[in-house]
Amino acid sequence: MKRLRRLSTVLLVVLAGLTTLPYLVDVPKGADVDPATLLAVAAAPGARIITADGVQSVVAEAGDPQDPALLLIHGFGGSTFGYRDVMAPLAARGWHVIAIDLPGFGLSEKSWGRDYSHKAQATFALAVLDQLTVDRAVVLGHSMGGNVISWMLALAPERIAGLAYIDAAVVQPKSGVSSSPSFASVLLDVPPIRRIARIAIRSAFSRETFAELLSSAFAVKSVVNRYGLVDGYAASSLLRDWDLALLGIIRDGAKNALPDSLANLSAAAGTPPTLILWGNDDSWVPLSSGEVLRADLPDAAWVVLPGIGHVPFEEDAPAFIDAVGGWLDTLR
């Protein structure tokens, strides 16, 4: 009995230490910049602050609002900033081009409590279209954005006039997947563990480490040295609670699988016109993933850009504009 009491005491002391120690260490102080002050350097031209679906975020527009709409959805770590050089040229081909910052990314509002699943992101994108009184749009998704536009297709097929998948990370449904919370979700819902994660993220983050990570997505490395590129993508880290938003995105990652196969979603929507465009040297989402997507959507136009990595609109904007613009021309 004495041993049991002693063991219980030790466990209580350990538990108390684990729950209090994180609060004895300060979370490294970060910036708390007003996102409106960063629009000129970390968003596409003409960007403005909006509120949609209860979230403050950013929208940028180019072209005539009377023209057919093209909605650009960024990937993980992206924002309207990534599309800054391609919006006006695409608009010049007769499109009302719209780019947004998804919740948790770019200059959008950051918090722990927001649902960051791709279904919720798709709902936000549709809410932005509602606010802009856009009934239907061609939707373009890069990387993670490819899964978000697929969720848009699932939620509102009647509003999708076409889809463009750019080096897309599509999460197909898997049989037998449990509906229980993910391990990451369970852990991060414990406040002391979440605090430890915040301390680790803020302590590890620097402009140099971020630049190295960003560079790994590019096959054309020289682009990363272009003036303002690293700071434009890193601007999100200047906002309040950016790390909490990142943890929320990780927490909700297990909920991103599509409700049905992309092939079935496309067929149910009447097989909308689709483009699949890939960088041949993409090391983040390799060309083989594009081939899988192509097999699911055999009627899609297929474009591979030689010598290009994961971010074609940054690595070779003219080739990207020609490929996407040429496909868009066929829809008019």
Query: What one-character-per-residue DSSP string does 167-228 give?
Result: S-------TT---SPPHHHHHHTSHHHHHHHHHHHHHH--HHHHHHHHHTT-SSGGGGGSTT
As a whole number of angstroms, the distance between CA 274 and CA 257 comes to 20
Decide if 112 contacts 244 (C-beta within 8 A). Answer: yes
The confidence score (pLDDT) of residue 183 equals 85
Residue 282 to residues 164, 168, 288: CA-CA distances in angstroms? 17, 11, 10
Residue 59 to residues 43, 99, 100, 106, 257: CA-CA distances in angstroms? 9, 6, 4, 11, 26
Q: What's the DSSP call for residue 257?
A: S
As a whole number of angstroms, the distance between CA 175 and CA 114 comes to 27
CA atoms within 13 A on the CB side of 216: 8
Decide if 255 contacts 238 (C-beta within 8 A). Answer: no
Q: Per-domain residue ranges for the chain?
A: 35-329
The CA-based angle 327-67-298, given to 5 degrees, is 25
Taking 70 as the threshold, does the pLDDT of residue 274 lie above it? yes
Residues sharing a CB contact under 8 Å with residue 104, sequence separation 6 or more, in sequence order: 110, 114, 116, 245, 246, 248, 249
For 35-329, CATH number out of 3.40.50.1820, 3.40.50.970, 3.40.50.2020, 3.40.225.10 equals 3.40.50.1820
The confidence score (pLDDT) of residue 21 equals 44
The confidence score (pLDDT) of residue 13 equals 36
Decide if 257 contacts 174 (C-beta within 8 A). Answer: yes
CA 176, distance to chain mean position in Å, is: 26
Decide if 35 contacts 101 (C-beta within 8 A). Answer: no
Burial class (CB in 10 A: 0-12, 13-18, 19+), 179: exposed
Residues sharing a CB contact under 8 Å with residue 34, sequence separation 6 or more, in sequence order: none
Residues sharing a CB contact under 8 Å with residue 235, sequence separation 6 or more, in sequence order: 38, 41, 42, 79, 81, 106, 107
Taking 50 as the threshold, does the pLDDT of residue 202 lie above it? yes
- Kindly report, residue by residue over 128-155, the tens digit of the pLDDT: 999 999 999 999 999 999 999 999 999 9
Which residue bears the tokens 């699988």?
A: 257
Cα radius of gyration (the chain): 21
As a whole number of angstroms, the distance between CA 294 and CA 297 comes to 5
- Tokens for 223, please give them: 């682009």
* pLDDT band (50, 70, 90) for residue 175: low
Strands 55-62 and 48-52, how do they pair? Answer: antiparallel
Question: Is 69 strand, coil or helix?
Answer: strand
Q: What's the DSSP call for residue 27?
A: P
Diameter of the chain measured on Cα atoms: 82
The confidence score (pLDDT) of residue 28 equals 57
As a whole number of angstroms, the distance between CA 127 and CA 170 comes to 22
- Kindly report, residue by residue over 42-99, the tens digit of the pLDDT: 999 999 999 999 999 999 999 999 999 999 999 999 999 999 999 999 999 999 999 9
- Tokens for 192, please give them: 């002391």
Instruction: Compute how many other C-beta atoms are within 10 angstroms of the C-beta atom of residue 223.
Output: 17
- Kindly report, residue by residue over 238-263, the tens digit of the pLDDT: 999 999 999 999 999 999 999 999 99
Give the pTM: 0.92
Instruction: Tell me the β-bridge partners of 139.
Output: 71, 163
